[in-house]
Structure 1
Amino acid sequence: MGKADADGPGLPDLPPEWGRVVIPDNLAALADEAEQVRRELRAAADHHRRWRPPAKPVIVLVVAVLTTIAGLAAVTWPRNGRTGPSTSTPDPAPALLTGRPLPALDLVDGGQSPVPLRGLLPVVVLLVDGCACPDQVAEAATAAPPGVTVVTVAGARPRAAPAGTQVRTLADPAGGLRAFLHVPASQDGVTALLADRTGRIILIVPKVASITNYHAELSRLAD
């Protein structure tokens, strides 16, 4: 049984808003209140432990990821004024090869027998590894003056010559001639190489559109 001691002797003056303070005779009567206080303190401590500010490395990682995404978006995002066709500078190698000697390469015929390229001079070589282009080959055979050899060079195996022509058909399995010219194969036209009887390269046409691209040089090739 507790007793009111707010007005009892020996106690300091307490704030009036606290009301009447009762001190129990048995301290066990405070067990429930003490347990409630402990539960509240534990709950507050758990909440404090669960909430922790993010570590610095995590912040740095997040910033790095966001920066990377922003950079990719800037690169890949469509931009106005850049929708026109791109232009590329042609390889200057064909022009630089003009006047140089024809390389001493061996091609192969249909039986895989070697055929020296320099043994065909004067010659117009049509590389048909990208396009058979029989019409362009037939035009070259018709326009070639007497004494000039017209040769087609394919990849692994020789291509058939157009009917009614005297075209020599060879192959270059190793790709040595194409590599020497530094000209990629095209599906739209043949590559033409003209060399005179001394083996000097007269002209290289990377992609022939018509016989007019080299007709003048071809007509003088046997001189």
Structure 2
Amino acid sequence: MGMPEPNGHWSTDGLPDLPPEWGRVVVPDDASALAQEAAQVRRELHEAHRDARRRSFRPTLSLPALILVVAVLATLAGLVTVTWPRAAPSTARSAPAPARDPLPDPAGRPLPALDLVDEAQAPVPLRSLLPAVILLVDACPCPERVTEATTAVPPGVRVVTVVSGRTVPTAETGSAPGVRRLADPADGLRALTHANPVPGTVDVILVDRTGTVVRVAPAVGSVEEYRADLNRLNG
């Protein structure tokens, strides 16, 4: 039995049934004195019971169901990727390439030592024909341009027609006399003009007797475009 205390409560000192770590336990005579502690205990029990019910109703997925869910999500992701509207390609222009330095003007420079070929495929050193008006006739035979050149050149200046490759075209009937017709296997004269052939025109290279290029005139349509430079060829 417990021991009565002066305040009317009973102490459990000396009772062997209680664990010693509980310490001293005092039991009041009036049970209403424990109402607050009882209400706290009931609340704790209620919350513990509610948490247990929530855990018992929490859904769980089995392995087959989990695999099925993953497969469905992967299929939906693939459909979204295929059907999603793609952005229109950008219409912004790319940055322009940096401008290249202009090719050097061949005027005032020595004529390269080129060997051309004649109708018999014999080599002809071009410098042996100077001074000369050289007409590149790849884009147009232009017999009228050849004729007016032979008429305009000063005495002692040759007129030379040149085509690319190794084959010299057959002379046309009525061709201007005294014209040297050659082919340029290495295409060195075309490279000297820095220009592509233009149909209906000829490219003209004027070279004086010292082998210096006086002028390069691309896409010429008339002798008047270079007549003023002809007198410089004998200088």
* Bucket of the pairwise TM-score, normalised by the shorter protein: 0.5 to 0.7
What does residue 217 of structure 2 align with? 205
Contact 1:143–1:219, Cα closer than 8 Å, also in 2: no
User: Cα 1:117–1:58, aligned 2, differ >3 Å: closer, same or farther?
Assistant: farther
Q: Are residues 1:158 and 2:168 paired? A: yes
Alignment length, in residue pairs? 166
Write the letter of the residue equivalent to 2:209: R
Q: Are residues 1:101 and 2:121 paired? A: no
Contact 2:214–2:232, Cα closer than 8 Å, also in 1: no
Distance (whole Å) between structure 1 residues aligned to residue 70 and residue 77 of structure 2:
18
Give CA-to-partner distance per residue, 1:103-143, whole Å, 9 cap, x none. 00000000011101111110110001121111111110111
**Structure 2: any 5+ residue segments left out of the alignment?**
1-67, 94-98
TM-score normalised by structure 2 residue count: 0.59
Contact 1:191–1:208, Cα closer than 8 Å, also in 2: yes
Contact 2:143–2:175, Cα closer than 8 Å, also in 1: no
Distance (whole Å) between structure 2 residues aligned to residue 137 and residue 164 of structure 1:
7
What does residue 52 of structure 1 align with? 73
What does residue 193 of structure 2 align with? 181
Answer with 1 or 2: which has the greater Rg: 2
Share of identical aligned residues, percent? 45
2:146 partner SS? helix
Distance (whole Å) between structure 1 residues aligned to residue 83 and residue 133 of structure 2:
65
1:169 partner SS? strand
Distance (whole Å) between structure 2 residues aligned to residue 101 and residue 56 of structure 1:
72
User: Cα 1:164–1:183, aligned 2, differ >3 Å: closer, same or farther?
Assistant: closer
Superposition RMSD on alpha carbons, in Å? 3.8
Distance (whole Å) between structure 1 residues aligned to residue 194 and residue 127 of structure 2:
19
What does residue 86 of structure 2 align with? 66
Distance (whole Å) between structure 2 residues aligned to residue 143 and residue 60 of structure 1:
75
Contact 1:125–1:150, Cα closer than 8 Å, also in 2: yes
Give CA-to-partner distance per residue, 1:160-202, whole Å, 9 cap, x none. 2652421100001221221233221121210000010000110
